[in-house]
């Protein structure tokens, strides 16, 4: 069950409304780096969580906080749209080029939402639920969460750089701070689960069943002369402490694939199913004539 408070988690103030910045803020709502993504990701991870209840409870609390961030950003979009022209006629009259591109404003903020935020990104593309990660493996999900918060923080810092509105900078500074905490929060869970020693994920699968010759080999696919590969991943003990890194030159070990003839019920071309093309057929005819 969810409850709501009528007040925002943090103040949202727009000193100088900017419809173009409203469009940019849409990325932080419905884009792949946005708050809808992390909100649903944490919620679905929580609703499917098995194991210690503390992880489920923490995910629920943080997912609910992300709802508050969507609310803040949606409010910021609406405030930035206040004063935007509902009709573009005046803009066309002033400058046809500006009118043609709507001055960078998203026309759907006029046509679809009535000067309000939408569940879309900065290009108007609807939020995509396939971005939501919830694998049922807590460690794997935490790494996905760190990535989501990292790219979200990158976006928020870029938005901070893109505005000179003091109110917007203040709101974004708050969201950046929360991204800092959430990155550390998910890393803390990974540490609690064993950190690097819990790798490879899932650690419940016996590594004896792997093709172990390749468990810690960096496969170099460079086709030129073999160069010295320098990097932590190329030599020395593996990060999980269970193997030694080495470099292996890529080689075709699988042979050439051979597929069966097409199934007649799939209605490929007759020549495909017979295994003969026109050149082969002509050659057979010539051979029979001679």
pTM, two decimal places? 0.87
Domains along the sequence of the chain with CATH: 19-197 (1.20.1260.10), 210-249 (no CATH)
- Tell me: is residue 109 an annotated ligand-binding position: no
Tokens standing for residue 111: 């046509």
Q: How far is CA 79 from CA 74, 84, 263, in A?
A: 9, 10, 61
Q: Which tens digit of pLDDT belongs to each residue from 76-96?
A: 999 999 977 666 555 555 655
- Tell me: is residue 33 an annotated ligand-binding position: no
For the ranges 196-200, 213-217, 220-224, the lowest mean pLDDT is seen at: 220-224
- Tell me: is residue 284 an annotated ligand-binding position: no
Residue-averaged pLDDT of the chain: 91
Predicted local distance difference test score (pLDDT) of residue 72 = 98
Closest CA to 145 of 182, 172, 191: 182
**Which position has the token pair 């016996």?**
206
- Tell me: is residue 199 an annotated ligand-binding position: no
- Tell me: is residue 69 an annotated ligand-binding position: yes
Predicted local distance difference test score (pLDDT) of residue 289 = 72
Q: Which tens digit of pLDDT belongs to each residue from 139-166?
A: 999 999 999 999 999 999 999 999 999 9
272 Cβ contact list (under 8 Å, min separation 6): 261, 262
Dihedral sign computed on CA atoms, order 48, 51, 55, 56: positive
Q: Which tens digit of pLDDT belongs to each residue from 257-266?
A: 999 989 999 9
């Amino acid at each position: 069950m969810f409850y709501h408070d009528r007040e925002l988690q943090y103040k949202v103030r727009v000193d100088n409304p900017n419809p173009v910045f409203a469009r940019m803020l849409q990325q932080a709502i419905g884009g792949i780096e946005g708050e809808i993504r992390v909100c649903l990701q944490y919620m679905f991870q929580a609703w499917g969580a098995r194991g210690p209840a503390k992880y489920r409870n923490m995910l629920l609390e943080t997912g609910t906080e992300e709802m508050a961030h969507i609310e803040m950003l949606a409010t910021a979009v609406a405030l930035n749209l206040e004063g935007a022209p509902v009709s573009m006629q005046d803009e066309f009259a002033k400058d046809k080029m500006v009118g043609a591109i709507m001055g960078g404003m998203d026309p759907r903020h006029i046509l679809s939402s009535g000067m309000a935020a939408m569940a879309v990104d900065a290009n108007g593309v609807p939020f995509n639920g396939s971005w939501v990660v919830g694998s049922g493996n807590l460690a794997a999900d935490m790494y996905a969460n760190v990535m989501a918060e990292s790219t979200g923080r990158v976006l928020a810092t870029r938005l901070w750089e893109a505005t000179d509105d003091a109110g917007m900078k203040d709101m974004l500074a708050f969201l950046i701070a929360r991204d800092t905490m959430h990155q550390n929060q998910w890393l803390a869970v990974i540490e609690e689960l064993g950190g690097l020693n819990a790798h490879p994920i899932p650690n419940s699968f016996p590594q004896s069943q792997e093709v172990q010759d390749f468990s810690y080999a960096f496969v170099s696919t460079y086709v030129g002369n073999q160069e010295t590969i320098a990097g932590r991943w190329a030599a020395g003990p593996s990060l999980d402490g269970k193997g030694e890194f080495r470099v292996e030159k890529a080689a075709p070990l699988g042979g050439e694939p051979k597929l069966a003839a097409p199934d007649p019920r799939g209605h490929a071309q007759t020549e495909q199913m017979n295994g003969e093309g026109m050149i082969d057929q002509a050659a057979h005819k010539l051979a029979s004539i001679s």
